[in-house]
Structure 1
């Protein structure tokens, strides 16, 4: 176990190292008007991209689901039964 003197010397060394580190530069100031305009533009871009991605993902999911019903009907029936059972037991 370390003694108090050893811990104090280690603390002093760490404080010295911290003082020697260069100070970070402050972040540039942003005016409220430019910040609002930028966030609105980003939000509208994200909304358009998200809508396109959701439509593509939903189409792909429906296609995979349709393939599953034709390729593996037993697995589909077992999955439907399991979901129905779990929903029935949830109440």
Structure 2
């Protein structure tokens, strides 16, 4: 985890986002169901496509602000997919 010095709020935020991060297999599923390529996701997060692949394979976990942005994005995509599914069932 990224060093956060005397900033317990930032540390707590990172822990919350780590806990909110979907399992590696689900990360890829969410991205693919949303129709987003690994390259597009990497561009949106300003990281490498290989980093996205490592995260989706469970080989690595994003750190610091990247963890926060990635977890937020995946959770927002998942919520949008669920909402679209719910609308389609009505």
Taking structure 2 as the reference length, what is the TM-score of the superposition?
0.31
Structure having the higher Rg: 1
Tell me: higher relative CO, structure 1 or 2? Use CA pairs within 8 A at least 6 residues apart.
Answer: 2
Taking structure 1 as the reference length, what is the TM-score of the superposition?
0.30
